[in-house]
Amino acid sequence: MLLREDGLPVMAALGRLTSEAFLLIDRSYFAPLTAAQGGRRAMRGLLALAERACEEARRMGIDSCHAWLAPEIAARFGPQIARMGWARHDWPTYVKFV
C-alpha cells in the first residue's frame, strides 16, 4: 500500500488466489481404439478429471482456473472446454514471475 504523508492510503495492490490448468495426455493409451472410441473415452476421462480438479481447488479456496491455449489447438480444443463450462476471456494477459 502506498500512503500519503499524513498516512492515508492513495494506492494499493491486491492479489487473488487462482490456478492455471495444464492437461497432459498419454496418447498411446488411446491409440488402439478407433478415433471415435478414443475421443469418447478421452472426453469421459477429461470430464471426470476436471470434476476432481475442481473439487480439490474449492477445497483449497481457489475459485477460478485459467487455461492458456496455444493457437494451434485453440480452434479445436476451445469449443470442447467451452461446453464444459470454461469461458473465453478476451482481456490481454500479462505475467510477472515472482
Residue 42 lies in a domain: yes
pLDDT confidence of residue 2: 97
Domain count, the chain: 1
pLDDT confidence of residue 5: 97
- Quick one: CA dihedral 24, 55, 98, 9, positive or negative? positive
Is pTM beyond 0.75? Reply is: no
Residue 91 lies in a domain: no
- Profile the chain (98 residues) by mean pLDDT over runs of 10 residues: 97 93 91 86 93 95 93 92 92 87
40: domain range? 2-83
Residue 15 lies in a domain: yes
- Whether 68 and 20 have beta carbons less than 8 Å apart is answered as yes
pLDDT confidence of residue 74: 93
Residue 88 lies in a domain: no
- Residues β-bridged to residue 66: 20
pLDDT confidence of residue 46: 93
